[in-house]
Amino acid sequence: MSLKLIRNILLVAGFTTVVFGTGYKLGLSQSPVPYLKPTFSNTDVPATKNVDFALFWDVWSRLEDSFIDKKALDPEKMFYGAISGMVSSLEDPYTAFLPPKENKDAKDSLAGHFDGIGAQLGIKDKKIIVVAPLSGTPAEAAGLKSGDWIVKVNGKETVNWNLPQAVSNIRGERGTKVTLNILSEGETEPRDVEIIRDNINVPSVVWEVKTASGSAKKSIHLKLSQFGGQTNDEWLKGVSEINSYLATDSAKTVKGIVLDMRNNPGGYLSGAVFIASEFLPDGAVVLQEDKTGRRQTFSVNREGKLTNIPLVVLINRGSASASEIVAGAIQDRKRGRVVGEVSFGKGSIQDVQELQGGAGLHVTVAKWLTPSGKWINRDGVTPDVKVEPDEENPENDVQFNKAIEIL
């Protein structure tokens, strides 16, 4: 598979939900809105398909004739809804049809700039859950955590929702409010959480020299928040800065690098291979298995600048997909140790296809496996050293402290 093609392959956990983008501006009017019957084109069934659409048109016609709210009979919305229903019938939470607005929002999200609450969502056990709140966003400030179940959105039950439905109900313009009914793990009663949407700007790569609590040990704390469209450029800039720092006298006491992918929901497959190649000298990064069972190996594809420095990888329940690929490769190849919690567990690959009119289609086309052939779907990557966060004192980053201790 060419690099050009794999740039269009997504691994993100519930990617269509990462964007709570600009919402619709609602206007109220007292004047009646006439219902205009639509005209249709390209209605012929392909010769290779034996499908009778009589029932479809019968239902469409009955809705036109009988439904009480004529203003709700939006032909385009009904058309997109029919396509969404067809895709949803596959019962794969990561295969999704995105109408033009949702598709644009999804692409804006991977670019790292959008309006919303700043949370990544996914589907687990048919529930809409928080994969990870983004750092410094309204979602984090409101106390959303990885694993939270969104029971309701503005009073609407989320049972049987797909990811695009979650997006369309939660997204909105900066300054507007959304109320989420949340059930956190370990709790028995859900609670309402009001969140004011804001503009979200998320840098993918941030690094600093950091000392563990109660220790003189120093490390490079390299935070990777997603594998988006700008991540590779940001990564190269960060690595260049790190190498310049490591050449100074101040760096003599640095023990190594802590690659922090906690709450990283994933992104592009090409990005995962690119990042892993920074630390691995050669060999396999990830295996892809298609619907026929044929496997393809994606190997280190460039000369990394950090192949010899001691390395520890941090993950948690919000680490998904592309971040799991990197963690799994580092672990399988024994390049470094993995510390933290068992990760999210998303082992499938989506092909991103652009459709006419600006719509998009995300199709699950394969599953991915670690270099040793392990499929982590639902099970996640198990860290070499399990460390639960200090919930009572979040400022005490026990997972990071353990990482530095291991270096």
Concerning whether 250 is annotated as a catalytic residue, the answer is no
> Is 332 an active-site residue?
yes
Element (H, E) at 233: helix 231-246
Q: How many CB atoms lie within 10 A of CB 405?
A: 14
d(CA 382, CA 331) in angstroms, rounded, equals 10
DSSP 3-state of 308: coil
- Cα(310)–Cα(219) distance, integer angstroms: 10
- How far is residue 303 from each of residues 3, 87, 145, measured CA to CA in Å? 16, 41, 37
Q: Which of 321, 323, 343, 348 is catalytic?
A: 321
Residue 346 annotated as catalytic: yes
- In angstroms, the CA 114 to CA 176 distance is 14
Which among 152, 255, 346, 402 is annotated as catalytic? Answer: 346
Please answer whether residues 173 and 209 qualify as being in contact, where contact means their C-beta atoms are separated by less than 8 angstroms.
no
Look at phi and psi of residue 316 and say left if phi exceeds 0, alpha if psi is from -120 to 50, else beta.
beta
Write down the catalytic residue from 105, 115, 260, 332: 332
Q: What percent of the residues of the chain are helix, what percent strand, and what percent coil, each to the nearest 5? A: 30, 25, 45
Q: Which amino acid is at 212?
A: A
Q: Which amino acid is at 244?
A: S
Determine the 3-state secondary structure of 288 from DSSP. Answer: strand
Q: Which are the catalytic amino acids?
A: 321, 332, 346
